[in-house]
Amino acid sequence: MTLRTDTEALLATLGVDRSAFTGGGMASFSPITGEEIADVAPATAEEAAAAIARASAAFRVWRMVPAPKRGELIRLFGEELRAAKAELGRLVSIEAGKSPSEGAGEVQEMIDICDFAVGLSRQLYGLTIATERPGHRMMETWHPLGVVGVISAFNFPVAVWSWNTALALVCGDPVIWKPSEKTPLTALASMAVLARALKRFGEAPEGLVQVLIGGAEVGAALVDSPDVALVSATGSTRMGRIVGPKVAARFGRAILELGGNNAGIVCPSADLDMALRAVAFGAMGTAGQRCTTLRRLFVHEDVYDTLVPGLIRAYDSVTVGNPLESSALVGPLIDGAAYRAMQAALAAARAAGGTVHGGERVAIGPDTAFYARPALVEMPEQTGPVLEETFAPILYVMKYSDFDAAIEAHNAVGAGLSSSVFTTDLREMELFLSARGSDCGIANVNIGTSGAEIGGAFGGEKETGGGRESGSDAWKGYMRRATNTINYSRDLPLAQGVVFDI
């Protein structure tokens, strides 16, 4: 069976109409072999405008459906996802090149956020606030916001959409999804799974959740439309620099989930076996193509010569291979451009005095596939390519002697997504988590930078964009807040003691 026939069979099982993935004119590839597995039809500007109009009409209906009832739709979606987990997970592996366990894990994340959102549908509460005026009550209410445009990246092709969609729907907002042009098939499949939940639910307005296949220009239709109240965009900082100002210029709301340049600090007291395993998974897992991938490591000089040789051995022995035909831990890069970006970064690191271990291309399957051995680069200092995110498995390792200086270096990059410290010293741990510690949206102790759970708010600071998605109170980003003051007295006292007698 070729990957194409495998893909077509999976899409059919998942309920996607054949016309959606054949003869559309936009080729879709699997990074596992680089072969074409489908061709899909990109949305036209007219189709995008029509989708926004349908979503706006759906909003007027959906916002009046009680939130716990909206949660019932998400409960059904969670059920359908459970039933489709094996097939959808495999499709994630085919389209994004993930190992079977990571493909299935991504679908599990979708299920988890559904469970979270169902509970949330009965907890969209505001505060009651003490008022200075007698006979008054002050409170806040949360209302649906409007149409949510979700623009997603290739590396979490379905989970990020589900984080947004499960929350947006219980919050009363329709969703239009513009998936990555590199992963349209998992988007079509997810929509087919959702369609089954919508059918069982029975009462959802037409156009409640839609997908628009295509590239940046289709995303731009959502970004530019005043009828899209919130743009939730996940991808590179380069993309965010374009999208953020455009949404701000029309006073729209944006959740930006952009690039990371995540770091760890390994202290003298660290459990080095644990640190080694966490670093290996964080830096090499998903072939270095997670936004939370560990990219920089600061190792104390007292433990450098113990930890780093062990890490280099792990890099030498890690298995690189076709994730569907082997138990390899490291799969393919998404495409040739990613491989070339990796080689360019390694060349720049060498030029800056770095010693590169690994990083070479590994011949697996046809030459349209790009597999590379993960690279560990010992750097004399944090400079050049170390300051940027290269979306490939490169770990820059640097020696430190002073913890304060290590924290300074840790924070001295543009991105601010995820971070870790490995220590058993209480003072170092608390300092890392304190106001003068890590400046990232995620700061961990004795676990790696990647592999977040849905219960916490997910996102980062600085060039990572400042957005928060998923758990905690991230739902507030999908609603508008109204402060209400109610006067149940017979007087009209003014705030701040102002007198205005007429």
Interface residues with ligand NAD (CB under 6 A) are 151-156, 160, 178, 180-181, 215-216, 219-220, 223, 234-236, 239, 242-243, 257-260, 291, 389, 391, 417, 464
Contact 193, 88 (CB under 8 A): yes
Amino acid at 205: P
Q: How far apart are CA 272 and CA 266, in angstroms?
A: 8
CB atoms near residue 257 (< 10 Å): 30
256 three-state secondary structure:
strand
Nearer Cβ to ligand NAD, position 33 or 450? 450
* Residue 195 C-alpha from the chain's centroid: 23
Q: State in angstroms the smallest separation of the CB of 429 from ligand NAD.
A: 25
C-beta of 144 vs 465, nearer to ligand NAD: 465
| Neighbour-count burial for 441-475, b at 16+ CB within 10 Å, e otherwise | bbbbeeebbbbbebeebbbbbbbbbbbbbbbeebb
Residue in the structure block whose two tokens are 């998992």: 186
Nearer to ligand NAD, 62 or 154 (CB): 154
Q: Which two tokens stand for residue 220?
A: 């731009």
Of 262 and 423, the one with the shorter C-beta distance to ligand NAD is 262
Q: How far is the CB of 415 from ligand NAD (least distance, A)?
A: 8
Strand arrangement, sheet containing 209-211: 209-211, 175-178, 147-151, 228-234, 253-257
Half-sphere exposure for 215 (CA within 13 Å, toward CB): 5
Give the distance, in angstroms, between the CA of residue 63 and the centroid of all CA atoms in the same chain.
26
Residue 236 beta carbon to ligand NAD: minimum distance, rounded to whole angstroms: 3
Minimum CB distance to ligand NAD, residue 442 (Å): 10
At a CB cut-off of 8 Å and minimum separation 6, what does 108 contact? Answer: 85
Nearest distance from C-beta of residue 451 to ligand NAD, angstroms? 13
Distance of closest approach, residue 115 Cβ to ligand NAD, in angstroms: 20
Q: Which CB sits closer to ligand NAD, 14 or 291?
A: 291
Q: How far apart, in whole angstroms, are the C-alpha atoms of residue 146 and residue 172?
A: 8
Nearest distance from residue 220's CB to ligand NAD, in Å?
4
> CB–CB of 500/148 below 8 Å?
no
Backbone torsions φ then ψ of 6, nearest 5 degrees: -60, -45
Closer residue to ligand NAD (CB): 172 or 465: 465
- Kindly list the strands in the beta sheet with 442-445, ordered across the sheet, starting from the edge strand earlier in the chain: 355-358, 375-378, 394-400, 294-300, 262-266, 418-422, 442-445
Burial class (CB in 10 A: 0-12, 13-18, 19+), 297: buried
- Note if 257 is an active site residue: yes
Cα 292 from Cα 452, distance rounded (Å): 9
The Cα 353–Cα 148 span in angstroms is 47
Alpha carbon of residue 278 to chain centroid:
20
Instruction: State the minimum distance, in angstroms, from the CB of residue 290 to ligand NAD.
Output: 7
Whole-angstrom Cα Rg for the chain: 24
Instruction: Give whichever of 242 and 352 is closer to ligand NAD, judged by the CB atom.
Output: 242
The CB-of-460 to ligand NAD minimum distance in angstroms stands at: 6
- Choosing from 102, 257, 378, 463, the catalytic residue is 257
Q: Which is nearer to ligand NAD, 217 or 381 (CB)?
A: 217
DSSP SS3 for 117: helix
What are the tokens at 416?
Answer: 């601010």
Catalytic positions: 257
